[in-house]
Structure 1
Amino acid sequence: MVSYLTEALVEQGHDVTLFASGDSQTSAKLEAFWPQALRLDPTIRDVMAPHMLLLEEVRRRADEFDVLHFHIDYYPFSLFARQPVPFLTTLHGRLDLPELQPIFNTFKDVPVVSISDNQRIPLPQANWLQTVYHGLPEDVLKPIPNVEPGYLAFLGRVSPEKGLDRAIRIAGQAGMKLKVAAKIDKADRAYYEEVIKPLMALPHVEYIGEIGEAEKREFLGNAHALVFPIDWPEPFGLVMIEAMACGTPVIAFNRGSVPEVIENGVSGFVVEDEISAVAAVKRLHALPRAKVREAFEARFSSKVMARNYVATYEELLRQKHRTVLREVNAN
């Protein structure tokens, strides 16, 4: 997502410096703090050590920039709250964790951006600057012309909160084939063996394994709908807009960010349970796939995301200016 934002900002004429690994592909000015992505470097045992180097390098050069934008959770808070350059942090993860409360009680003035309004609920005390939804480049995923969809799709991790068992039941009750493109993490292996594996043997289920970015268009674009029966407060749910980019509607449970992302009756259906999800499958014919794509372009392209972030940067600078004026007048 950082790459999509960076590319869109550069395309819109902004001067962007990206602090990232040396193997990053970017149109911005790249400042490499480590030769390759940490998750791909087999020599790395402590991923926080390179992050500390990154933060120190940004601190040393902070005066070169109008705004600093972080995407590494709360790690910059203490260091950058003590310097004058305006900064903000986009919070990408779940926030309903008790250990986060003292962090945001301590750093109440640090400006943060949410990726959905629902994500904010556990931390009302945080200094929320704006909500900016994720966005994708318009050419990354496109509808398949003259498609004849033949199945429901599930794309995501095999874990209890993602609801693959519910997706299998929904497809079966709707009389539809379900294709499953899913990753099985070590932490979820026992859940897979005990709960999911027996369901995979059902005749209407096809497990195709984990897929890459290049395979998503064919997988999502040929589906009647993406089934997204989550059971946790998903902060955003990128797969929903990936499906929309392909013109594929989404049937999603009313949890977390879902009602913010899915326009009910336009880009999909927001449902409460498995029974209403089965009923929604029967109504998919009422959703023109071209309208689903239009909804994506209007709200969830990387161009829209970049424009919304620029507006957020401008608001941050205005707030900083007002703060400086108050301090000058007070003295």
Structure 2
Amino acid sequence: MRRLRICLIASSRFPVSEPFAGGLEAHTHALATELRARGHSVTLFAAPGSDPELGADALDVEAFEPGEAARADVGAPPEAWMREHHAYLGLMLDLARTGADRFDIVHNNSLHHLPVAMSSALTVPMVTTLHTPPTPWLESAIRLTPSARFVAVSRFTAEQWRSSTGAGVILNGVDTERWAVGEGGGGAIWFGRFVPEKAPHLAIHAARIAGMPLDLAGPIFDREYFQRKVEPLLDARVRYVGHLDTRELAARVGRASVTAVTPLWEEPYGLVAAESMACATPVAAFDRGALSEFVVPAGGRLATPGDPDALAEAMLAAAALPRDEVRRHALEHCSLQTMTDRYETLYEQQTTRMLAA
């Protein structure tokens, strides 16, 4: 594999740094780190505050201030929306002018529509990873940019986008050295963003039915939801342990006997499940979205969505699985190395095609 100069575009909303705001930031950090370790030159365009070890160039999300007349326009969009728009517009205009001199390929790992909409203005190839179900802004950009190239993080997500674009599939992967084997034997754990669609309150109900203690970890994105649905259920056996960095979180996951995954939406991938299995900790998950593509009997158990009784049964069954088999499954199907191999192949295909044209 020849060494490439890669421009990796990240989200402008949250920095790519520990502790991660969510799976997208963790995924971007892992991919950038692995590509650099393989000898590629990676320039990451990301939110201010991103990990300096990645050599990130900050997206200019704060600088734009509309003029007084523009602010007075009754149809003006929110200023936060305009700052984000301005950041990506500036980046894409810069790449249109000088991108081919600096990069061999652009990988758009953001959720914003402008990189897709302006991709045809670039003279360097660009690929976009679809991390979410269809959104109106991005769907509009895709339909008007037939030359854009896409991959999805799961077969389920690719199918969701099928009416707008054909996308290949590169399953997400996790760093199986950072998410290292743990001894297990503890209670259950739930980790992720505290938002209604992730439903940690149902993990609490299921853990109580199963008779398991439960730790919960992650950033509180929806404070009102946390205070109304989660906080009243906390006690000596159900604890919120905070928003942890990867090292501490991986240690806690490794000590757990099972990880509960409780989406009430169609999960595009489900990175927490892969991270858990990498620690040799089996998964009990609601069967939503893409989770069934890699949470298989060797790594966990699936339950009827939204049903705490079914999840409790799955937690008890998953906790009895041999941990060495769970880890082996993660190494074979959920590794960062496998994912990066496939992205390298995609980059090579796109750059070769551009040279041939």
Pick the TM interval, shorter chain: 0.7 to 0.9
In the TM superposition, residue 106 of structure 1 has moved relative to its aligned partner by 1.9
In the TM superposition, residue 275 of structure 1 has moved relative to its aligned partner by 2.9
Structure 1 residues 149 and 265: alpha-carbon distance in aligned structure 2, compared to 1, 3 A threshold: same
Structure 1 residues 118 and 34: alpha-carbon distance in aligned structure 2, compared to 1, 3 A threshold: closer
Please name the residue that 2:30 is paired with.
Answer: 4
Structure 1 residues 161 and 24: alpha-carbon distance in aligned structure 2, compared to 1, 3 A threshold: closer
Structure 2 unpaired stretches of 5+: 1-26, 66-78
Question: Conserved in 2, the CA contact under 8 Å of 1:138 and 1:301?
Answer: yes
Equivalent residue in structure 1 for 2:275, among 217, 228, 242:
242
CA offsets per residue over residues 164-190 of structure 1, 9 Å max, x none? 1211111111111111114322xx233
Please name the residue that 1:154 is paired with.
Answer: 190
Structure 1 residues 193 and 49: alpha-carbon distance in aligned structure 2, compared to 1, 3 A threshold: same
Structure 1 residues 319 and 279: alpha-carbon distance in aligned structure 2, compared to 1, 3 A threshold: same
Matched-pair identity in %: 27
Moved more, 62-71 or 246-255: 62-71
Equivalent residue in structure 1 for 2:127, among 88, 99, 109:
88
Please name the residue that 1:32 is paired with.
Answer: 57
In the TM superposition, residue 233 of structure 1 has moved relative to its aligned partner by 1.1
In the TM superposition, residue 104 of structure 1 has moved relative to its aligned partner by 2.8
**One-letter amino acid of the counterpart of residue 173, structure 1:** I
**One-letter amino acid of the counterpart of residue 126, structure 2:** F
Moved more, 113-122 or 313-322: 313-322
Residue pairs, 1:1-331, within 5 angstroms: 1-20=27-46, 24-26=51-53, 30=55, 32-33=57-58, 46-64=83-101, 65-73=103-111, 74-95=113-134, 97-144=135-182, 147-185=183-221, 188-201=222-235, 204-262=237-295, 264-272=296-304, 273-317=307-351, 320=354, 324=357
**One-letter amino acid of the counterpart of residue 162, structure 1:** K
Counterpart-to-counterpart distance in 2, 1:204 and 1:24: 35
In the TM superposition, residue 98 of structure 1 has moved relative to its aligned partner by 4.5
Counterpart-to-counterpart distance in 2, 1:136 and 1:298: 11
Q: TM-score, normalised to structure 1's length? A: 0.82
Question: Conserved in 2, the CA contact under 8 Å of 1:114 and 1:128?
Answer: no
**One-letter amino acid of the counterpart of residue 33, structure 2:** E
Question: Conserved in 1, the CA contact under 8 Å of 2:186 and 2:257?
Answer: yes
Question: Conserved in 2, the CA contact under 8 Å of 1:63 and 1:85?
Answer: yes
Moved more, 153-162 or 191-200: 191-200
SS at match of 1:244: helix
CA offsets per residue over residues 207-238 of structure 1, 9 Å max, x none? 22322223112210111111001110121222
**Backbone CA RMSD of aligned residues:** 2.9
SS at match of 2:141: helix
Counterpart-to-counterpart distance in 2, 1:76 and 1:308: 22
Structure 1 unpaired stretches of 5+: 325-331
CA offsets per residue over residues 61-109 of structure 1, 9 Å max, x none? 22233322111232212322133422111122332x4454433322233
Counterpart-to-counterpart distance in 1, 2:196 and 2:50: 34
Counterpart-to-counterpart distance in 1, 2:122 and 2:214: 53
Question: Conserved in 1, the CA contact under 8 Å of 2:96 and 2:121?
Answer: no
**One-letter amino acid of the counterpart of residue 160, structure 1:** P
In the TM superposition, residue 270 of structure 1 has moved relative to its aligned partner by 1.6
In the TM superposition, residue 274 of structure 1 has moved relative to its aligned partner by 2.7
In the TM superposition, residue 60 of structure 1 has moved relative to its aligned partner by 2.2
Question: Conserved in 2, the CA contact under 8 Å of 1:109 and 1:126?
Answer: no
In the TM superposition, residue 153 of structure 1 has moved relative to its aligned partner by 0.5
Counterpart-to-counterpart distance in 1, 2:337 and 2:207: 35
Counterpart-to-counterpart distance in 2, 1:67 and 1:210: 34
In the TM superposition, residue 248 of structure 1 has moved relative to its aligned partner by 0.6
Structure 1 residues 246 and 108: alpha-carbon distance in aligned structure 2, compared to 1, 3 A threshold: same
Counterpart-to-counterpart distance in 1, 2:123 and 2:265: 38
**One-letter amino acid of the counterpart of residue 265, structure 2:** W
